[in-house]
Amino acid sequence: MTFAVRVDASDPTPPYEQLRRQLAGAIRGGTLASGTRLPTVRQLAADLGLATGTVMRAYGELEASGLVVTRRGQGTVVADLRSDAVGVRLGGLADRFIADAVAAGAGPAEVRAAIDAALSRRGA
Amino acid sequence: MVVSGVLVVVALPLLAVVVVLAAVVAGRRRSARLVFDSEAYPGLVALRRSTIALRWTGVVVGILAGVAVIGVGPLAPLAFASPLVAGIVAVAALLVGQQLSYSGARSRGSAGVETRRLRDYVPVGLARRVGAATGVLLTVCLFLVIAASPDDLGRPGRALTAAWVEHRWVADQAGVLQRDDAFHSGATSPFPGSFYVPAVLGALALLLALSVLGLWLTARRPRNGGDPELVRVDDALRRITAEGIVAAAGAGIAGGVLALSVVAYTRFGQFPQVPVHVACSYLGALVALGALASTLAFATTLLVPGNGNRR
């Protein structure tokens, strides 16, 4: 069964972020298994009716999070998350937390302070 | 011109009639329809209609274009490229049909995470036969270029010449037999040598390039890959289009071999005194029969699309 992605033009979230979230969720949830080849940027952009730059940015963010890797001649494939499962998962969680915190108006110092406070409460 | 006269008056109409008859017969065998909910997918209905209907338009316009180019220019340099021109037009019609209506398989904002590859749609067996036909066409062209000679006005590669010796014995005044060999030569034109072959090769290059482009566009055109039913039908339509493109290219190429080999057969056959020419004539007849069968098979596949199931 092919995983479907949807980009809603009326959603205030930028299209690249909508795409990134859906792909990241599918990769973390195991719907897109490691080694799964993602469509080319050009193909996905044409299918969705988006600019290639939009899809390229979403793929770039996924690669920066360690969720996909781009290899010459193979295209973009879902990364093997087992090799660094905790690190990749933490990276994804941090991404989401930071995005929500920034949306709530927090700066970098406040974000760090909030994490330190949470760790202190747990006795870490 | 003898060649164009024979092609226009006899060969092409006869070939067209045979192809239509073969298409009708084969149609009963291959006519399993591509079934889907047409009310739920009106875009696919339009795509199916243009995928299948425009090939007939392409064939008719292609034959007309092929006939039209036969008489173009002094000494008709495009005469033997005529079947390939017909193939080019047929492939172009398939492409136009697809490009006009591919949006029927697309839902803006929706897509599937899928990779679409050329090899998922190209009919491998048919493509191999087109490759073989291309090899035969190139071989025939090379052979004819080597065999041809200048015509009576010195135009290179436009005639077939032959020279032979007639061995005779004549009695002299004393009644003794003396050898009195007679040397003969002859020429016949037009012959598809280097005067005509460049147009054939140019048309072949254009036909192959257009076919590759068409197959690439067929695999790459966008769709909503997140809808499994749409994907099933769209995959079938892509396979039907790819099969049509490959078959049209094959019909054009095999038709080119047919035109060249029929003329080669008749021209070599005009010199029964030369054993090599007689052998070449028989060889030409064999190649022509094979090319005729291939042309009919390709044309039937083009005119009677399958249901797009993976084979």
Chain segment A44-53, per-residue pLDDT in tens:
999 999 999 9
A residues 14-33 lying closer than 8 A (beta carbon) to B:
23, 26, 32
Quote the pLDDT of residue A86: 65
Quote the pLDDT of residue A103: 87
| Residues of chain B predicted below pLDDT 50 | 1-2, 31
Interface contact A4-B110, CB threshold 8 A: yes
Task: Return the percent helix, strand and coil in chain B, to nearest 5.
Answer: 65, 10, 25
Question: Domain spans of chain A?
Answer: 1-79, 82-124
Interface contact B225-A4, CB threshold 8 A: yes
- ipTM computed for the complex: 0.73
Quote the pLDDT of residue B1: 46
Average of pLDDT values for A89-118?
86
Quote the pLDDT of residue B27: 60
Domains held by chain B: number: 1
Return the residue of A nearest to B220 by Cα. A43
Range of the domain at B211: 2-149+191-303
Interface contact B110-A6, CB threshold 8 A: yes
- Chain B residues inside the 8 Å CB shell of A32: 113
Q: Residue B272 domain-assigned?
A: yes
Q: Residue B48 domain-assigned?
A: yes
Contact predicate A70/A41, CB 8 Å: no
Quote the pLDDT of residue B280: 95
User: Around B167, how many Cα atoms within 13 Å sit in the side-chain half-sphere?
Assistant: 1
Interface contact A2-B220, CB threshold 8 A: no
Distance CA B16, CA B22 (A): 10
Chain segment A25-63, per-residue pLDDT in tens:
999 888 999 889 999 999 999 999 999 999 999 999 999
- Chain B residues inside the 8 Å CB shell of A3: 112-113, 226
Give me the helices (H) in chain A, please.
Answer: 15-28, 41-48, 52-64, 85-103, 108-121
Chain segment A69-98, per-residue pLDDT in tens:
988 778 899 988 765 666 766 777 788 888
Query: Rounded to a whole number, what is the distance in angstroms from the first to the last CA of chain A?
Result: 43
What is the average pLDDT score of chain A? 88
Return the residue of B nearest to A6 by Cα. B110
Quote the pLDDT of residue B12: 61
Interface contact A4-B226, CB threshold 8 A: yes
Return the CATH fold of A1-79. Arc Repressor Mutant, subunit A (1.10.10)
Chain segment B109-122, per-residue pLDDT in tens:
999 999 999 999 99
Distance CA B94, CA B100 (A): 10
Q: Give B118→chain A minimum CA distance, Å.
A: 13
Q: Residue B213 domain-assigned?
A: yes
Quote the pLDDT of residue B297: 92
Q: Residue B177 domain-assigned?
A: no
